[in-house]
Amino acid sequence: MSTERVSVIPYYHHLSLGIQQQFAGGIVLDASYVGSLGRQLFYTNPLNPALPNATFTSTGTQANGQVLRLHPNRGIIQLRDSGATSNYHSLQVLVRRNQASTPIGRIGFSSAYTWSKSLDVLTETFASNSAPSAPSRFTCVCVPLRKIDYGPSDNDRRHIWTTVTSVESSWAWIGLSWSGIWRVVNNAGYHSAKRNTIHGSERI
């Protein structure tokens, strides 16, 4: 593995913009846009990639049984370079109410929803798995990066929702020297099914 001497150091732009409004009853609404733009990210460029067979169903082989490559007399040649991109955009909404007194005790809740879209050229930058099930880790030669494998990242989750409710109440026995507090906390959540495996086997 070698590294391109003129590689640019990867960098990110982080963006956020939010508003908050409090309503009657102590209910607070918080809505925000959160984004992250990755530029000049590292990727592994195979300078001598394996070539497919005549039917494009698997990797081609030479007469001696070796993998057929762009330069058949050489083995694996990989260059660590920069130039890949990633983009994350999300809308994050939070509705919450701090614990407030009610006839049955103190009740509070918090509910958060995130719609997001995470796109990149590859997710596992430094992984060494070169299996066909991991095409996102390698790029072809002489093809613009964004046109090869740019799409939903392996970490893309379009919908994420979580809600937490809590009820707290105190009690005491008249005439006795003991009392107590009981608390009930409920958690619920949902996130959309992942579109990709950790190996990037379904990038669309």
128-156: pLDDT as tens digits: 544 444 444 444 444 445 556 788 887 88
The reply to whether 196 falls in a domain is no
User: What percent of the chain shows pLDDT beyond 70?
Assistant: 72
The reply to whether 28 falls in a domain is yes
Q: Does 39 score more than 70 pLDDT?
A: yes
Alpha carbon distance 115, 32 (integer Å): 11
Q: How many domains does the chain have?
A: 1
The range of the structural domain enclosing residue 43 comes to 2-191
Q: What is the pTM of this model?
A: 0.68
The reply to whether 202 falls in a domain is no
